[in-house]
Structure 1
Amino acid sequence: MMQSKWVLSSNRAILLLSIYILLIFNIGFWSYLFQHVTLKNNVIFWFTVPVLMLAAMNFCMQLLFWPYLHWLMVPLLLLLGSAVSYAVMMQHIYFDANMLQNIMQTNIGEAGAWLTPQFWMWLGITGLLPAQWYCWGVNIHYTKPWYREFGKRIVVIIASLITVFTVILLAYGSYISFFRNNKTVNHLIVPTNFVGAAVKTAYNTYDAHQPLQRIGMDASHQRHGNKRLLILVIGETTRAQNWGLNGYQRQTTPELAAMANQVVNFPHVSSCGTATAVSLPCLFSNMPRQHYQANLAKHQEGLLDVLQRSGVAVSWRDNDGGCKGVCDRIRHLDVRDWAPNLKCNSDGCLDESLLINLHGMITNMPNDAVLVLHTMGSHGPAYYQRYPEAFRRFTPTCDTNQIQQCTREQLRNTYDNTVLYTDHILAEIIKLLQNESGLASAMWYFSDHGESLGENGIYLHATPYAIAPEEQTRVPMLFWANHDFAEISNLDMNCLRRHAHQQEFSHDNIFHSVLGLMDVKTSEYQTQLDLFASCRKNNFNY
């Protein structure tokens, strides 16, 4: 007698479902790849991406596919996946948490304009009919006893993960470059885009109701002598290995080297993270890297809040896509707010734009102040866009954001040119401060994290810290202060130069060192983490 239903094992059902989703629901994603990734220079990428996608999808489906639960999850996945895939395929919509929020807030009129006959036809053919057939025409067979079924599933999960990691290792350069250049492409992949959007929306709803934790409520500051200004220059993606003052084989910091008797270089400094989203909030928090909690940092005040509460004027100028929440409660401006006519691209403007009208801003400071300049620095993969033509000194260069297509020499040359330009920007800031009469001024530069330039097949950054190469965790750091600032802050600059070369430092030192430099009294301050403390005479916090 012929069976009325198609009998499938759980693993076979998951594999067929994964293939169906990849082929039908991800037409929009595949179309995007065909438009943005040529076969000629990306053979390995095109050969491996279907394998990677199928293994990753199979892994995800394994986590959702369980007895009884699958009768609800699979039809729901088919219906929602069909609807979202139509939006991605036909309307080129990037489905993220913001898009989900828009859908939740839409009205009948807006929804009616989107729910066209073509949409309903697509939903019926690719979503409703397969869901109906799954419910009435398929019988899922689970191996008994249960632990054998569980064992088979675990084997498939492990095999899927091994496949994913193997593919990534084989074509790491191609994948890291593609996803860096196409940061929103994940919002085209069904169903991870709408599942991720739902999870993020739920978290954001919860997160929005978390209270802000205040710190340094006892912070106080008293002005001494001339008006005091500390400029913090936050570098982007500049690594210590290519910093000329650190003994790099090339002189990538010639202008700062000419000021060697004025500046203090710190050759042994480690970052808090390997990506801006981690390092920036971390270095401004009162938590050391070993105990840093990103979720807590989002709802806790940081260094700039404490400075502002003490009476120090605080401002932030940005040329790197935002401050990751660090400057939310202080005065902050984006480079485009005051330099709209500069030649900028989608990533930002040249860092010299941060210096426009800086003199006027300094002149108008009402009291002691800390000013943060957040630079674009050496941000990749489009390194060639980070400096003007005059700083294209190391050639040949890699004049594309497809860095895996360039030679190691081209890539290094282009990156070194970004460091040359950073050297120039820092030297210009020092010169500007030197020309400000009656002002006790200092500049402190440090990068947020480093960068990999193909060493061991690794490019760019954001590798998990525990396994990150040293190129991503060692960063340059430089300090300059005029005589008045050093005198007011009781700094022995010669002592500082000796300590800078003899000791190791990290982003953990920044919170407490800035408080010490600006004479801010608070119980949050820890002398042992103030890198200037050992070279400061009569420190009030002792």
Structure 2
Amino acid sequence: MLKNSIKLVHFVLIASFVNFLLFHYPFFKYVFNTLDYKSFSGITIIVSLVIALLVVNAFVLYLIFFLSRLVGKILLIFFFIVNAIVAYFINTYQVIMDITMIGNILNTNYEEASSFFSFSLILYLFFLGLIPVFFIVKVKIAKGTVKRFLINFSLTLLFLVVFVFVNGGNWRWIDKNSTKLGALAMPWSYMVNTSRFYIKKSKENEKEILLPDAKIKDNVKSVAVLVIGESARSENFSLYGYEKLTNPLLSKVENLHSFNATSCATYTTAGVKCILEHTNSNKLYEILPNYLYRNNVEVIWKTTNWGEPPVHIKNFFNKGDLKGACEGEICNYDEILLKGLKEQILASKKDKILIVLHTSTSHGPSYNTKYPPEFEKFSPVCKSVELGECTQEELINAYDNTIVYTDYILASLIEDLKELKEYNSTMLFVSDHGESLGENNLYMHGIPATFAPKEQLEIPFIVWLSDGSKKLKSNETLSQNHVFHSVLNFLAIESPIYDENMNIFE
């Protein structure tokens, strides 16, 4: 076969069939789990989807390869390589390649991406990617005549038009499930959703919408520390009734309150944006640190994470900045965020201070690397990035240890704030989203919020207050947007945008 040329029609049919065979198990697993595959309508939908996947892919490849066999080969090589990588993540972490997940991928940095590297990924890449690529490179494709192309093209197009009309009765089910079907069809899932992502990004405001000017109402020294958690779900905090003691320190802290809360989204960029904005919106409004900095509040941002909206302040310190000024073991963990913080507060010449600490403590899949060894309270722990290979106990133990370390960081921060006797202080800990730990065979996060499981949406919202500063309202359930208005209230910032209903303080 490699020595002799193959007709273009035969080649694209084979390529489409191989693509169908190698990469569509998750697609049809979802189909079989969603409809009654034993009924006549179920059978017709399944047959229709098989035909659609085979014919549409072959049709597109036929058009591309006829116009340019070189371009066609390059694209097909790209598809098989990317398909293999995407298949690994879908099968290993049960993700779906929708616009939300594309946003996650495009906002992932090298450190996070490298944490997913595994031997299984190499196997996927080799067997599902490189082996097909070898044959694609070696095969010789005979170019057909223009007449034959026009005939085949016209007949296939006519078939597809008739096929669409014949399947009119199935469109209701397909449309209802189009989000997941489209996110599992290869290579259309990442191609179409990447285009959708960039179209959406291009429509966003390049410059944030400024909020009305604010003013400071008094000169009482006040500091608010907002700690943005990463992938922390309230279900695994003993403060929320978890049976394992994951909050041994915070459980003993006075003036500490925990509220039920849900996240706006299941991925970092949207979750952090929601925490920092005054309302849940697709628009890019001026975020809390930018707004306060512009209105004469001291603002300090320290992060070991990424994915925040543009931050326009003087004192912004990323992980590289923090590690450059740090020595010792703590430099490798989120404890680095506390280093020198009290001194920075005391050095400020302003009465009102906002500190934002953006952590990365509970981000998977390598939960066991997110805390120092002495915080491994629960064992055995999962040490593989392929979470499905670990037992449920190992996975949860590793994750719970990140919560124990979070408990230590928050308790240490509170002790530092207690020493600032001349300040009224508060700490708010709010996570960007939750995390799946194998429930319903789902791992990590990123499922669209409309049908995400509660594990990815239910988050901790923990508040501490210094003696004599403020009292809390009797809220039961909060949203991430409560942060903006509550910080304004605590720091005595008067603003036309302020909403008393979204404030947690009396």
Question: Do these two structures clear the TM 0.5 threshold for a shared fold by scoring above it?
Answer: yes
Distance 1:143 1:381, change over 3 A: closer
Alignment of 1:202-221 (within 5 A): 206=202, 210-221=205-216
Cα drift, residue 400 of structure 1: 1.7
Q: 1:262 aligns with which of 230, 255, 268?
A: 255
- Pair 1:515 & 2:494 matched: no
d(CA) in 2 for partners of 1:194, 1:435: 54
d(CA) in 1 for partners of 2:428, 2:68: 52
Which range moves more in the overlay, 402-411 or 140-149?
Answer: 140-149
Q: What is the aligned partner in structure 2 of residue 387 from structure 1?
A: 371
Q: What is the aligned partner in structure 2 of residue 43 from structure 1?
A: none
Q: What is the aligned partner in structure 1 of residue 247 from structure 2?
A: 253
Q: What is the aligned partner in structure 2 of residue 310 from structure 1?
A: 295
Structure 1 counterpart of 2:301, which letter? W
Cα drift, residue 49 of structure 1: 7.1
Q: 1:287 aligns with which of 279, 282, 300?
A: 279
Cα drift, residue 234 of structure 1: 0.5
d(CA) in 2 for partners of 1:461, 1:518: 34
Distance 1:416 1:150, change over 3 A: same
- Pair 1:364 & 2:364 matched: no
Secondary structure class of the residue paired with 2:335: helix
Q: What is the aligned partner in structure 1 of residue 497 from structure 2?
A: 524
d(CA) in 1 for partners of 2:256, 2:207: 38
Structure 2 counterpart of 1:416, which letter? D
The normalised TM-score by structure 1 is 0.66
- Pair 1:477 & 2:471 matched: no
Alignment of 1:80-159 (within 5 A): 80-83=71-74, 130=141, 132-133=143-144, 135=146, 137-138=148-149, 139-140=151-152, 141-142=155-156, 148-151=162-165
Secondary structure class of the residue paired with 1:338: helix
Cα drift, residue 525 of structure 1: 0.7
Question: Is contact 1:77-1:191 (8 Å) kept?
Answer: no
Question: Is contact 1:220-1:309 (8 Å) kept?
Answer: no
Residues 453-501 of structure 1 deviation map (CA, whole Å, 9 limit, x = unaligned): 12222221122212222221111121112235x1xxxx23xxx2x714x
Distance 1:150 1:239, change over 3 A: same
d(CA) in 2 for partners of 1:387, 1:349: 9
Q: 1:230 aligns with which of 213, 218, 224?
A: 224
Q: In percent, how many aligned pairs have the same letter?
A: 25
Which range moves more in the overlay, 324-333 or 350-359?
Answer: 324-333
Cα drift, residue 420 of structure 1: 0.5
Secondary structure class of the residue paired with 1:133: coil
Distance 1:194 1:242, change over 3 A: closer
Q: What is the aligned partner in structure 1 of residue 435 from structure 2?
A: 451
Question: Is contact 1:215-1:524 (8 Å) kept?
Answer: no
Residues 192-250 of structure 1 deviation map (CA, whole Å, 9 limit, x = unaligned): 7777777766776x458x4524332221124423x321110011111111111112111
- Pair 1:239 & 2:233 matched: yes
Cα drift, residue 79 of structure 1: 4.0
Distance 1:450 1:394, change over 3 A: same
- Pair 1:271 & 2:263 matched: yes
Q: 2:474 aligns with which of 480, 499, 524?
A: 499
Cα drift, residue 70 of structure 1: 8.4
Question: Is contact 2:8-2:143 (8 Å) kept?
Answer: no
Question: Is contact 1:79-1:127 (8 Å) kept?
Answer: no
Question: Is contact 1:280-1:448 (8 Å) kept?
Answer: yes
Cα drift, residue 151 of structure 1: 3.4
Structure 2 counterpart of 1:318, which letter? T
d(CA) in 1 for partners of 2:494, 2:334: 34
Secondary structure class of the residue paired with 1:249: coil
Unaligned runs of at least 5 residues, structure 2: 1-5, 30-45, 86-101, 107-132
d(CA) in 1 for partners of 2:223, 2:461: 19
d(CA) in 1 for partners of 2:466, 2:245: 25
Distance 1:85 1:350, change over 3 A: farther
Structure 1 counterpart of 2:240, which letter? N
d(CA) in 2 for partners of 1:79, 1:161: 38
Secondary structure class of the residue paired with 1:420: helix
Q: What is the aligned partner in structure 1 of residue 42 from structure 2?
A: none
Q: 1:18 aligns with which of 16, 19, 30?
A: 16
Question: Is contact 2:275-2:481 (8 Å) kept?
Answer: yes
Question: Is contact 1:59-1:160 (8 Å) kept?
Answer: no
Q: What is the aligned partner in structure 2 of residue 172 from structure 1?
A: none
d(CA) in 2 for partners of 1:148, 1:216: 54
d(CA) in 2 for partners of 1:203, 1:127: 39
Secondary structure class of the residue paired with 1:499: coil
Cα drift, residue 375 of structure 1: 0.6
d(CA) in 2 for partners of 1:222, 1:529: 19
d(CA) in 1 for partners of 2:381, 2:275: 33
d(CA) in 2 for partners of 1:64, 1:22: 9
Distance 1:385 1:303, change over 3 A: same
Distance 1:148 1:460, change over 3 A: same
Structure 1 counterpart of 2:334, which letter? D
Which range moves more in the overlay, 333-342 or 459-468?
Answer: 333-342
Question: Is contact 1:284-1:326 (8 Å) kept?
Answer: no
Alignment of 1:69-80 (within 5 A): 73=64, 75=66, 79-80=70-71
Distance 1:13 1:165, change over 3 A: farther
Cα drift, residue 328 of structure 1: 4.6
d(CA) in 2 for partners of 1:393, 1:16: 54
Secondary structure class of the residue paired with 1:234: strand
Question: Is contact 2:301-2:355 (8 Å) kept?
Answer: yes
Residues 103-138 of structure 1 deviation map (CA, whole Å, 9 limit, x = unaligned): xxxxxxxxxxxxxxxxxxx99x85997484385654
Q: What is the aligned partner in structure 1 of residue 130 from structure 2?
A: none
Structure 2 counterpart of 1:455, which letter? E
Which range moves more in the overlay, 126-135 or 215-224?
Answer: 126-135
Number of aligned residue pairs: 431
Query: In angstroms, what is the RMSD of aligned CA positions?
Result: 4.7
Structure 2 counterpart of 1:245, which letter? L
Which range moves more in the overlay, 425-434 or 332-341?
Answer: 332-341
